[in-house]
A and B are shown apart, each in its own frame.
Chain A
């Protein structure tokens, strides 16, 4: 029986020893400094394309950090994951180049007058099932895109009619000139699918059950919900230069930034776009691949008021909320230097790029400077005090302010945590609500999913290098992206006028005029702007590094670097 005694004693000691070991492990493993990582200087930025695709691959494994697409029906693929897939499967009428110029794709266009667009379809383009693309398919696809239930219907607001004027010709007539329309035809908004297949698929179109019929360089050969997709190269793709370099692509749906980084380092994944900045330090030191910051970029972090009612209905409380945020600190802390602070709803990159003339850029930057001066001091102790006073003047007395974020995204979790911590300094009670990927992406364009939410934080992007798209989306009455049902006739008029003119200096003037009105309403703010972050395994090349990947068959372009 003494044995029992001894073993109990030893058990106690062994337990103590193990705990001590754990503590030592903890001490040994932790880094000495957390913020000493070098910033993403311009030397690290890779403009346009990384490497060259000299050869073919038998297979490529790619991850969608935003998870499984909820649909691949093009007009509803306004999200990173679904858009990437759709762009590899389907052809838009026109092609958007990385520098944002437009080229013909499956159609060439002619504009005989400001209210008419004529698309002449290329002959010999076939869908995966072998049937040829005709004007009937194009008309169906555009009308489908324009139907009220899609996310992009409003982009067709100025369209009067879409008709097939020949077996390979489609004419679009407008009620008012629309300078954005042509551009949108080079994105998922203008993608062509087969009419017969789509009509037969009915409500299942775009789901794992119904799938899709398109003409792109990849065909969707399998989609296992919850697990992954397989894309197979289309041997009959009409455009040889775009022919897929990899025969098979395996798509994974992992959303956890930690495990994605792990998989990249271990070589389980060949790459991914939309890498979470939280994993920058880890991936930067990986030796089996390269972390790439791509420019030009139209990626930015927005904090938007989620609905017109609730605790943030009061403009004073809204302003107080935004006064607590230190944008410069956010850029530094959460993005490891790979971001710059932003002080208006418009992201700076939307006007500070090559597609705007100098005179127009001057108008934008003068207006921006004013807002920068005003908000630069926000998020500091003085601002906290002022915010507290303002909030209580606005009727705030401690109600919870629910901030929705994407579950599994470490950067957004950190950003939300910082916002919450700062808000507390001003007496504002922010509660963080992580949402699973599907619910979160639904919330981004469907008001039903935003019930009970007050703020939505997320990474947003522009299709075009222009503020017209995001501002138009946010401030058109009735638009799903107008979360607060903001309606100001002057703003609407300015935006419509911008759409109608092709004079960019005039557009700049109109947009900044609208900005002067809507900014003080604090419906939404862009907090920081950052570059596209992607990772690519060594030995691969040809990848588009900028955000332009969203509008290209990005996966088809990646091949072996040797």
Chain B
């Protein structure tokens, strides 16, 4: 959660100060901002990732050779696997391979990391997508209700306050206890067969993943909608006798849409991280549970691959959104004054 809010809000702040640049230099700064900077960030992040795994205690050679091998055998295998090269060289080697989709071989499964990840990535994407749909639909709806109806507001506010405090794994246990154990409505096995089966299996996990984000999106939506509600042009429309739903549709929603979309999209990126815990809790075969397993098994290549994917998605999403916000900036500046005061 923490990952999404400040970034969203503060990139608006950032946008404001950037607008002082003159047009000519603006183009260059745009390229720098949305292509060079994220790439540089990604590069640095990948180095941090590699360093963490490189620091891991334990020697993979022991696993491959056993403890009775001679020092000469160790040296030979180390050289053959390239483990005797300096770390920056190994890092670069790994990175260049990774960019081409070659993540090496899993120590535990003895097959290519890419082939391990591919089927699991699909599961994770389905989970995150499903959760994303739930968050957007429920979060925005609750937020609108809370923002437009003074009577419902306290309850939605209360739910929001509670919702953001519920982490994915607690939600997982509670949902399992009620819907799977007590009521038996939902199964909790792996991925299921076919699209319908998979969706059924992913329902409880998707909700567990979504709960905290629903509350958050609902809060933002409510804030945006209720301020919009009070904005001068809405008051005028009311004064002219325009009916409620029409006001909602035409004025309020359209203008509140941007901050809501921004936040929703960023939340979905953050869901990938939340998926780590939820997949583990439900025993789903996604990349999140594979990450936990691989850390436990010390399967370095897998940890690196999944870490890189997560970082990549994160950076890409924030960059794309930053870019979209900037595109809509002129309107946003006006809206910003109204919405985010």
Contacts and interface: CB of A to CB of B under 8 A. Distances in A.
A and B touch in the complex (CB under 8 A): yes
Given A14-B162, A15-B158, A7 B153 contact: yes
Nearest to A267: B187
Interface hub of B67, B165, B188, B193 (most chain A Cβ within 10 A)? B188
A14 B67 contact: no
Interface string B140-158: 0000000000100111011
A207 B66 CA distance: 22
A14 B64 CA distance: 57
A10 B189 contact: no
Given A3-B150, A6-B154, A29-B182, A439 B297 contact: yes
Interface of A: 3, 6-15, 17-19, 22, 25, 29, 63, 70, 207-209, 224-227, 250, 252-256, 258-260, 262-263, 265-266, 268-269, 407-408, 434-436, 438-439, 442, 447-449, 451
Given A18-B158, A448-B64, 17 more contacts: A10-B154, A10-B157, A11-B158, A18-B162, A207-B110, A209-B111, A227-B119, A252-B189, A253-B285, A254-B283, A255-B283, A262-B189, A265-B184, A266-B186, A266-B189, A436-B293, A451-B67
A263 B187 contact: yes
B264 interface: no
A259 B191 CA distance: 11
Contacts of A266: 184, 186-187, 189
B119 A438 contact: no
Interface string B44-78: 00000000000000000011111100000000000
Given A7-B153, A7-B157, A408-B283, A15 B162 contact: yes
Interface string B154-189: 110111111001000000001001101110101111
The 6 closest A-B pairs by CB, nearest first: A14-B158, A10-B154, A263-B189, A266-B187, A256-B283, A7-B157
B296 A227 contact: no
Given A14-B154, A15-B158, A258 B188 contact: yes
A337 to B, nearest CB: 22
Given A29-B177, A448-B63, A451-B62, A258 B283 contact: yes
A436 B296 contact: yes
B279 to A, nearest CB: 11
A407 B111 contact: no
29 contacts: A3-B150, A10-B154, A11-B154, A11-B160, A12-B158, A14-B161, A14-B162, A15-B162, A15-B165, A22-B174, A29-B177, A207-B111, A225-B109, A225-B111, A226-B116, A226-B120, A227-B191, A252-B189, A254-B190, A258-B188, A259-B190, A262-B180, A262-B189, A263-B187, A263-B189, A268-B189, A268-B201, A451-B62, A451-B67
Contact of B111 (A6, A208, A227): A208
B97 interface: no
Q: Is the interface of B mostly helix, strand, loop or mixed?
A: helix
Given A224-B119, A254-B190, A262-B180, A447 B283 contact: no
Contacts, number: 129
Given A14-B157, A15-B161, A226-B119, A434 B188 contact: no
B216 interface: no
A7 to B, nearest CB: 4
A234 B41 CA distance: 55
Contact of A13 (B63, B109, B158): B158
A12 B283 CA distance: 35
B188 A448 contact: no
B282 interface: yes
A227 B154 contact: no
A545 to B, nearest CB: 23
A274 B201 CA distance: 23
B285 A226 contact: yes
Interface residues of B, number: 48
Contacts of A262: 180, 187-189
A258 B180 CA distance: 11
A259 B189 contact: yes
A266 B192 CA distance: 12
Interface string B257-278: 0000000000000000000000
Nearest to B201: A268
A63 B191 CA distance: 13
Contacts of A252: 189-190
Interface string B222-237: 0000000000000000
Contact of A447 (B66, B111, B115, B178): B66
B295 to A, nearest CB: 10
Contacts of B111: 207-209, 225
B108 interface: yes
Contacts of A227: 119, 190-191, 285
A209 B62 CA distance: 26
Contacts of A6: 153-154
B193 A250 contact: yes
Contact of B115 (A225, A268, A434): A225
A448 B62 contact: yes
A259 B188 contact: yes
A260 B189 contact: yes
Contacts of A250: 193
A254 B189 contact: yes
A91 to B, nearest CB: 27
Contact of B161 (A11, A207, A225, A260): A11
Contacts of B201: 268
Contacts of B189: 63, 252, 254, 259-260, 262-263, 266, 268-269
